[in-house]
Amino acid sequence: MKNKIFTLFVLLLSILCVSNIQAQSETTYQLPDVDAIRPSDDSITIDQLIEELPESASIDNPLLFLVNRDNLLEYDPYIPFVYSENGQPYHEAMAAPLAEMRAAAAEVGYYYNFISGYRSIAEQAFNYESRFNSYLYEGYSEADAQYMTDQYVAPSNSSEHTTGLAVDLLGAEFGYELYVSYQYEPSAQWLAENAHHYGFILRYLEGKTDITKINFEPWHFRYVGVEHAEFIHKHGLVLEEYIALIQERDNRQKLNQN
């Protein structure tokens, strides 16, 4: 009897978690204009991209929950946590895919340090303030320190780490310091080329900073599910562009119904 009650309790918490995230995602996103979407193959049209979208692609999918400088969190969502080998919390939804991806990498000789997973709004605020103050300590002006901080650190309520669905990974050979030069390491290249098979996307692509408002980060991966990750990777998109395509498709369908 006690086991049944516990099972029901866990099930209820999972439902509440999805509802919590989804409630925030149902607000209208601020998205790039559909005409500004830039697929890696510039010969493909927006109409073709929309036609190719997975039927299951939905703005209300919790795994596609968008958090950025234009779409802010109002509060810390409830996250069902699991923990990395070094005690870092992250969303249980990506536990099995992450383990599978790391196991596949290990088979070809790549091992990764788990740098960061979930961060609360308060923790992100501390990170932001710490980076800003470090630049001031190095002698930069407040304006320059602000600019440099904004290149890689999201403000407190605009970090997707707070969804629990983002992870920072570095090859064990590279250590624990986040440098853009990591992109040249074979372990980074393996992730960039294979993460989508396990439902992860390289979140902040080079050449898309005008959309993401974050510079290229070769260590930062976001779990969205395999079907969505395959599409995003195939066309060289970022999450903002993918959701803009979904919204455009939905808007067209509504117009056709009227």
User: Picking from 15-24, 29-38, 55-64, 218-227, which range would have the lowest pLDDT averaged per residue?
Assistant: 15-24
9 and 113 belong to one structural domain:
yes
How many structural domains is the chain composed of?
2
The answer to whether residue 3 scores a pLDDT higher than 70 is: no
- pLDDT value, residue 258: 74
pTM of the complete model beyond 0.75:
yes
Residue 21's pLDDT band (boundaries 50, 70, 90)? low
The answer to whether residue 36 scores a pLDDT higher than 50 is: yes
* Cα dihedral sign, 142-144-147-150: negative
The answer to whether residue 178 scores a pLDDT higher than 80 is: yes
The 10s digit of each residue's pLDDT in 65-104 is 999 999 999 999 999 999 999 999 999 999 999 999 999 9
138 and 85 belong to one structural domain:
no
Domain encompassing residue 106: 2-119+159-257
Residue 20's pLDDT band (boundaries 50, 70, 90)? low
Q: What percent of the chain has pLDDT over 90?
A: 87
Mean pLDDT, the chain, rounded, equals 91
149 and 182 belong to one structural domain:
no
The answer to whether residue 199 scores a pLDDT higher than 80 is: yes
The answer to whether residue 249 scores a pLDDT higher than 70 is: yes
Provide the residue type at 138 as one letter: E
* 126-147: average pLDDT: 95
113 and 189 belong to one structural domain:
yes
The answer to whether residue 109 scores a pLDDT higher than 90 is: yes
146 and 25 belong to one structural domain:
no
109 and 213 belong to one structural domain:
yes
Q: Which of 156, 176, 203 is the last residue of a domain?
A: 156
54 and 181 belong to one structural domain:
yes
- pLDDT value, residue 28: 81
The 10s digit of each residue's pLDDT in 149-172 is 998 899 999 999 999 999 999 999
- pLDDT value, residue 180: 97
* 185-192: average pLDDT: 98
Q: How far apart are CA 196 and CA 205, in angstroms?
A: 14
12 and 140 belong to one structural domain:
no
Q: Give the bridge partners for 221, in sequence order.
A: 167, 202
48 and 149 belong to one structural domain:
no
| CATH code (residue 206) | 3.30.1380.10
195 and 221 belong to one structural domain:
yes
147 and 237 belong to one structural domain:
no
- pLDDT value, residue 19: 46
The answer to whether residue 6 scores a pLDDT higher than 60 is: no
The answer to whether residue 7 scores a pLDDT higher than 70 is: no
141 and 242 belong to one structural domain:
no
- pLDDT value, residue 2: 44
